[in-house]
Structure 1
């Protein structure tokens, strides 16, 4: 497994949305879906605002592989369930996106269990 470059992490911290997709059994990508994300301690994280019922989340969690896209770049990634830094993620989401209802939805008890660390492959 490779790691994010410092430049990629700076870009990912700067932008407000990325697109994520899981990989199907045949290796093809599912449809890319826009999600909010945060970078904490040099790692990229995403959550499903719809919790485990979110379509993109179901597609990603099935094989734990896929891709993300941002600013015309695409990276193959592995999605790893990781609840070890949930409190820091909540704080990072509030810092990045403010205190509105959309942010409250991504830090609530429905979304928190879907925390995924996104690692480049």
Structure 2
């Protein structure tokens, strides 16, 4: 089965709106956590977020543990899964943060090792089957 992909319309709306709220499941795997506003960036058609407070962030810990939840952005709510990100793609993610959030006093922190070590890729779940 091919991995789910964002529709280009949805993806562009999410990136441009810059109002993404992330809500991983709680420990029961059924109840969503409190939505947390977070910066998002795009690299090669993938949606990435980082925890400002690094690996101590409660939403980040829940995303790693539960691996699923929802996002709310651009007037849409989407069921998603979360994947921890490491490796060379982090340099591209840094560059995406620099381009999108240049001039922000928070940028340096978001590309620091602490936040970089708490990078998540958000992947949509297929809500509808073709056919």
Question: Normalized against structure 1, the TM-score is what?
Answer: 0.93
- Please tell me whether residue 98 in structure 1 is matched to residue 109 in structure 2: no
Instruction: Check whether the contact 2:29–2:66 (CA below 8 A) recurs between aligned residues.
Output: no
Cα offset for 1:62?
1.4
- Please tell me whether residue 52 in structure 1 is matched to residue 55 in structure 2: yes
Which of 80, 85, 110 does residue 114 from structure 2 map onto?
110
Cα offset for 1:13?
2.1
**Equivalent residue runs for 1:6-85 within 5 Å:** 6-24=8-26, 25-84=28-87, 85=89
Stretches (4+) displaced over 2 A: none
Cα offset for 1:101?
2.6
Which structure has the larger Rg?
Answer: 2
Instruction: Check whether the contact 1:22–1:30 (CA below 8 A) recurs between aligned residues.
Output: yes
Unmatched tracts of structure 2, length 5 or more:
126-131
Question: Normalized against structure 2, the TM-score is what?
Answer: 0.87
